[in-house]
Amino acid sequence: MDIASPTPEPGSAAVRFDRERINYAVFSAAILIAGIWLVWLGSWLLGWSMNDLGIAPRQLGGLVGILSAPLAHASFDHLMSNTLPLALLATLTLYAYPLATRFALPMIWLLSGIGVWLFARDSVHVGMSGINHGLMFFLFLTGLLRRDRLGVAISLVVFFFYGGMLLTVLPREEQVSFEYHLAGAVSGLLAAILLFRLDPKPPRKRYSWEDEDDEADDATDAEFDLPRPDGVPVLWKRDPEQSGSARILPFPARIDDDTGGTRRTLH
């Protein structure tokens, strides 16, 4: 699905395009949230073990967890703690950067899982928190790199709500996989550096007072500009009709006293 770029003017076309982007972002984020809830409900009703879906570091059987671990959660509280951040972060990411998200989300998903499989503690790691960290760091750094109004505003919003994720990449609680948080954050930063130029920036709106300042500056500069050489009147190009009224003042010759008046000096 192709999403139109934002436009600077708040016209009907801009409202329609913005509505398309919002619908696309909300619908796609809802599918992702529905996926983790369906997996948890299915495992709860059928008695599945979340350990079978998690990442077991440095074990061949744990490689499948790179794909399935974000969908698995150890408890209902664990699921609830990841649902709201995922809803907000995924919606903002899909709304602000629809093109980059097509590559950023799979990159964060896979690279964070690979990082956990390679370097994490010998345990089973599950949950969407690694993806949430990746999306938060992706949004924050992308806004700083792009430096447009939408990107900077979203960077401030995600830092205000989830700035505490900067601390959760460090080991704090024994039962919390800080390795997944750290791998997701690094993946999000890498995705932001590689993909922040992918979505076009919205054209900058130009206000009427900016044009007025430009016109005033041009008028002021023109007042003090020197005339062109061909516009300066000179004696040898003067109109013949005006030459009769001209008066020429001759310069008197100056006598050099040292030579006894025998040599004239030029002025």
Q: Which residue has the higher pLDDT, 198 or 2?
A: 198
pLDDT value of residue 200? 87
- pLDDT one-digit tens code per residue, 92-102: 999 999 999 99
List CB contacts of 178: < 8 A, sequence separation 6 or more. 168, 169, 170, 171, 172
Confidence band of 88 (pLDDT split at 50, 70, 90): very high
pLDDT band at 230 (very low <50, low <70, confident <90, very high): low
Looking at residue 49, its pLDDT comes to: 79
- Best-predicted range by mean pLDDT (196-210, 211-225, 226-240): 196-210
Q: What confidence category does residue 11 fall into, taking pLDDT thresholds of 50, 70 and 90?
A: low
Residue 259, pLDDT score = 57
pTM greater than 0.75: no
Q: Residue 13: is its pLDDT beyond 60?
A: yes
Alpha carbon 4 to its chain centroid, in Å, reads 17
Quote the pLDDT of residue 34: 95
3-class DSSP state for residue 156? helix
- Per-residue pLDDT, averaged over 146-168, amounts to 93
Average pLDDT over residues 165-188: 92
Q: Give the residue-averaged pLDDT of 105-118.
A: 96
Phi, psi of 121 (to 5 degrees): -65, 160
Contacts of 50 (CB under 8 A, 6+ apart): 43, 72, 73, 74, 124, 126
- Match 């930063």 to its residue by tokens: 189
Whether the per-residue pLDDT at 66 is higher than 70: the answer is yes
Q: Which of 77, 60, 141 is CA-nearest to residue 108?
A: 141
| Residue 265 β-bridge partners | 254
pLDDT(4) > 80: no
The answer to whether 101 and 94 are in contact (CB under 8 A) is yes
Instruction: Check pLDDT > 60 for residue 10.
Output: no
Which residue in 91, 115, 113, 86 sits closest to 101, CA to CA? 91
Rounded Cα distance between 206 and 190, Å, is: 34
User: Could you tell me the CA-to-CA distances from 228 to 19, 156, 222, 238 in Å, in that order?
Assistant: 56, 54, 12, 17
Q: How confident is the model at residue 17 (pLDDT cuts 50, 70, 90)?
A: confident
d(CA 198, CA 101): 10
Find how far residue 249's CA is from the centre of its chain: 72
| pLDDT(191) > 90 | yes
Question: Could you tell me what percent of the chain has a pLDDT over 90?
Answer: 55
Our measurement of the distance from residue 173's CA atom to the centroid of its chain's CA atoms, rounded to an integer in Å, reads: 33
